[in-house]
Homo-oligomer: A and B are copies of this chain.
Amino acid sequence: MKLGKSGKAPVITVIGCGMMGSAITWPAAENGCRIRLVGSPLDGAIIAHAKKTGEHLTLKRPFPEGGKNYEYYTVDEFDRAVPGTDLFICGVSSFGLDWFIGEMIPRLPDGIPVLSITKGMLHTGGGAMISYPEKMEETAAKLGKKIDFCAVGGPCTSYELADRDPSCVTFCGRKPELLKAIRALFESDYYFVSLSTDVRGVECAVALKNAYALGISLAIGMSYRREGREFEHYNSQAALFGQAVKEMRRLLAFCEGGEDNITLGAGDLYVTVFGGRTRKLGILLGEGKSFEEAKKILAGVTLESTVIAARTAEAVCALEEAGRADPSDFPMLHHIGRLLAGETGIDVPWTAFESESF
């Protein structure tokens, strides 16, 4: 199986061209694909800037090869971007998911696959969680549409991808042959792609890391506060990292994702601790600021991690209420949940992390 008409460059149309939705096109454009970037209603400035300068406004980098394979569209021009498209990319963040599902899936043609970069899980009640691509599948099926949804997991920050730092990711979806065809568009000497049909497992592992990366960053803020300067200690970060991996393995089991996916979760956790926004929030909370204060300081910043964290905590609470999960199994998640609910002056529940394996 191959995407694209024979003798013609494959065409990739990105819906929502924030940092990651755009950065993922770097290897594809350099592989010779034609890229159509369609801004979401929030991306007007990015599209205008790209048209004028050939640069991505928020990535702060020029498009590859002088942007020669790129075209730019506003959301109103979407219908012009559709003809000839071989692959759509859903490039919105969690906050754009409702818009993509409600406004854009109805406008997608049958038969053209979608690769989603949006990472997250939805709590569907009673502790049941499903991944974003599953939600998209469900929506399309209800509309009677025939669309295959695939998604990207694994540790990869957008600006480093655009800097061509070697990155290993995983594409997940239902159909091995389709996944291989999509990989062929992106695989390069700095973008390495594993494939998996365990959609739930891949998405669950990489979504959970958002919440837990926030938790690990708390230790940085605690260290700053104790030292009275920006000095990091790593024992406490590593203790939280280990506890995060422990709880993520338990959550993977609840989500019925394969346990091998912890490999993805751990790598993604690592890169997210060094990422920008989640880390900044964790540090502020670790320094003792309330969630309200921290949000004020980080005004204007998209805090996707808090949405994921709050949702996961809510799902786990539901599981606990139903007697299906043991509250003592998720002390770190509950601590993060309490901080996001506005509590201050609470210590990391270190002793709750202790275990006895006899």
B166 near A354: Cβ-Cβ < 8 Å: no
Residues 173 to 220 of chain A near chain B (Cβ within 8 Å)? 176, 192-198, 219
Is A230 part of the binding interface, using a Cβ–Cβ cutoff of 8 Å? no
- Given contact pairs A160-B234, A263-B249, A266-B266, A239 touches B192 in the complex (Cβ within 8 A): yes
CB distance from A341 to the nearest CB of B (A): 23
Is A225 part of the binding interface, using a Cβ–Cβ cutoff of 8 Å? no
Is A350 part of the binding interface, using a Cβ–Cβ cutoff of 8 Å? yes
A264 to B234 alpha-carbon distance, docked (Å): 14
A 29-73 binary contact with B (CB < 8 Å = 1; else 0): 000000000000000000000000000000000000000000000
A242 near B357: Cβ-Cβ < 8 Å: no
A223 near B355: Cβ-Cβ < 8 Å: no
- Given contact pairs A237-B271, A270-B238, A357-B197, A168 touches B243 in the complex (Cβ within 8 A): yes
A268 to B271 alpha-carbon distance, docked (Å): 16
CB distance from A163 to the nearest CB of B (A): 7
B242 near A354: Cβ-Cβ < 8 Å: no
Is A92 part of the binding interface, using a Cβ–Cβ cutoff of 8 Å? no
Is A284 part of the binding interface, using a Cβ–Cβ cutoff of 8 Å? no
A232: nearest chain-B partner, CB-CB:
B274
| Residues in B neighbouring A275, C-beta threshold 8 A | 234
B271 near A165: Cβ-Cβ < 8 Å: no
CB distance from A291 to the nearest CB of B (A): 22
A242: nearest chain-B partner, CB-CB:
B267
A155 near B239: Cβ-Cβ < 8 Å: yes
B267 near A245: Cβ-Cβ < 8 Å: yes
Is A236 part of the binding interface, using a Cβ–Cβ cutoff of 8 Å? yes
A 230-267 binary contact with B (CB < 8 Å = 1; else 0): 00011111110111011001000000001110111011
Is A157 part of the binding interface, using a Cβ–Cβ cutoff of 8 Å? yes
A residues touching B (Cβ–Cβ < 8 Å)? 154-157, 160-161, 163, 165-168, 176, 192-198, 219, 222-223, 233-239, 241-243, 245-246, 249, 258-260, 262-264, 266-268, 270-271, 274-275, 348, 350-351, 353-358
Q: Can you list 21 A-B pairs with a CB-CB distance of less than 8 A?
A: A155-B238, A160-B235, A163-B233, A165-B236, A166-B219, A166-B239, A168-B243, A168-B350, A176-B356, A192-B239, A192-B350, A192-B354, A193-B354, A194-B356, A195-B358, A238-B268, A238-B271, A241-B267, A241-B270, A246-B260, A249-B263
